[in-house]
């Protein structure tokens, strides 16, 4: 089955690229970061302290997660936009270091691999969730460029953010995601690394299409 993984840090363009690629190739699409965001959102709403492992484990079992077309549902409620804030991203990144959280969503992530294939994006798609993937890409870009992309995305969704705050938040998140012991953000040994700082989304897609 066709399986393409695209990993990389926040704002590296993996979301845009993976989604467009899945549409062009008519493959399924997995936004694994959205799952961590949904769980973060759920824990926040239920006032669960993220350092309480037993409570976290119990509470995340109560989260019914559904991706229907472009809409993301948590317990039948549309949370598509609500999970996109940087405060939810921070909780997502904090709980992403928790072993039971990561293990609890492995099957859900792997269930996206259906015919005719999948484009999966995140931090550990090529290393842990789909190590068997034949085509693995790792996108990077300077932190300034990534913050500026995130700024445009968030402003277009009506969120009030500043580039300076985003630079700091993204750096903190990168540090946490890269330095955790379980499934850290790291390119798979056989991943092709693409620096997207100076590239448009269509140039990155062209490069990937030329490589697979
Ligand atoms: O891709 P994103 O910015 O929506 O991801 C939010 C957080 O979720 C990210 O900072 C770390 C975590 N995450 C992860 O640990 N593993 C993944 N495969 C995807 C996201």
Residues ≥6 apart with Cβ < 8 Å to 208: 4, 17, 21, 135, 137, 194
Task: Determine if ligand 1 sits within 6 Å of the CB of residue 93.
Answer: yes
Q: Is the pLDDT of residue 12 over 90?
A: yes
Task: Determine if ligand 1 sits within 6 Å of the CB of residue 91.
Answer: no
> How far is residue 90 CA from its own chain's centroid?
12
Q: Work out the average pLDDT over 204-208.
A: 97
Q: Which residue has the higher pLDDT, 157 or 67?
A: 67
Residue 191: the pLDDT is 98
Q: Using a pLDDT cut of 90, give the percent of the chain over it.
A: 96
Q: Is the pLDDT of residue 129 over 90?
A: yes
The pLDDT mean for the chain works out to: 96
Q: Work out the average pLDDT over 194-210.
A: 97
Q: Is the pLDDT of residue 198 over 80?
A: yes
Q: Is the pLDDT of residue 3 over 80?
A: yes
pLDDT tens sequence across 115-128: 999 999 999 999 99
Residue 59: the pLDDT is 94
Q: Work out the average pLDDT over 54-69.
A: 94
How far apart, in whole angstroms, are the C-alpha atoms of residue 151 and residue 156? 8
pLDDT tens sequence across 79-110: 999 999 989 999 999 999 999 899 999 999 99
Residue 29: the pLDDT is 98
- The backbone torsions φ and ψ at residue 97, rounded to the nearest 5 degrees and listed phi first, read -85, -5
Q: Is the pLDDT of residue 56 over 90?
A: yes
Q: Which of 89, 136, 149, 188 to mutate to test the pocket of ligand 1 (most atoms within 8 A of CB)?
A: 89
Task: Determine if ligand 1 sits within 6 Å of the CB of residue 173.
Answer: yes
Q: What DSSP assignment string belongs to the chain?
A: -EEEEEE-STTSSHHHHHHHHHHHHT-EEEEHHHHHHHHHHHHHHTT--TT-HHHHHHHHTT--EEEETTEEEETTEE-TTGGGSHHHHHHHHHHTT-HHHHHHTHHHHHTT--TTEEEEEESSIIIII-TT-SEEEEEE--HHHHHHHHHHHHHHTT----HHHHHHHHHHHHHHHHH-SSS-S---TTPEEEE-TT--HHHHHHHHHHH-
How far apart, in whole angstroms, are the C-alpha atoms of residue 85 and residue 96? 16
Q: Work out the average pLDDT over 155-165.
A: 93
Task: Determine if ligand 1 sits within 6 Å of the CB of residue 170.
Answer: no
Tell which residue, 188, 153, 183, 189, has the closest CA to residue 13.
153
Task: Determine if ligand 1 sits within 6 Å of the CB of residue 37.
Answer: yes
21 band by pLDDT with thresholds 50, 70 and 90: very high
Task: Determine if ligand 1 sits within 6 Å of the CB of residue 10.
Answer: yes
| Ligand 1 centroid to residue 102 C-alpha, Å | 11
34 band by pLDDT with thresholds 50, 70 and 90: very high
Q: Work out the average pLDDT over 21-46.
A: 97
Residue 162: the pLDDT is 94
Residue 1: the pLDDT is 76
């Amino acid at each position: 089955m066709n399986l393409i993984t695209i990993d990389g840090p926040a704002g590296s363009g993996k979301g845009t690229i993976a989604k467009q690629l899945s549409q062009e190739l008519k493959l399924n699409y997995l936004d694994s970061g959205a799952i961590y965001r949904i769980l973060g959102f759920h824990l926040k709403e239920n006032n669960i302290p993220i350092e309480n492992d037993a409570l976290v484990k119990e509470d995340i079992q109560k989260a019914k997660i559904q991706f229907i077309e472009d809409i993301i549902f948590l317990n039948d409620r549309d949370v598509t936009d609500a999970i996109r804030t940087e405060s939810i991203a921070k909780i997502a990144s904090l709980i992403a270091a928790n072993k039971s959280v990561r293990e609890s969503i492995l099957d859900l992530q792997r269930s996206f691999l259906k015919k005719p294939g999948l484009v999966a994006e995140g931090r550990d798609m090529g290393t842990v969730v789909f190590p068997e993937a034949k085509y693995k890409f790792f996108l990077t870009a300077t932190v300034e460029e990534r913050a500026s992309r995130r700024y445009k995305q968030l402003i277009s969704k009506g969120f009030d953010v500043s580039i300076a705050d985003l630079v700091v938040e993204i750096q903190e998140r990168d540090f946490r995601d890269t330095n955790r012991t379980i499934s850290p953000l790291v390119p798979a040994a056989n991943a092709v690394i693409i620096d997207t700082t100076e590239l448009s989304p269509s140039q990155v897609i062209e490069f990937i299409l030329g490589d697979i």
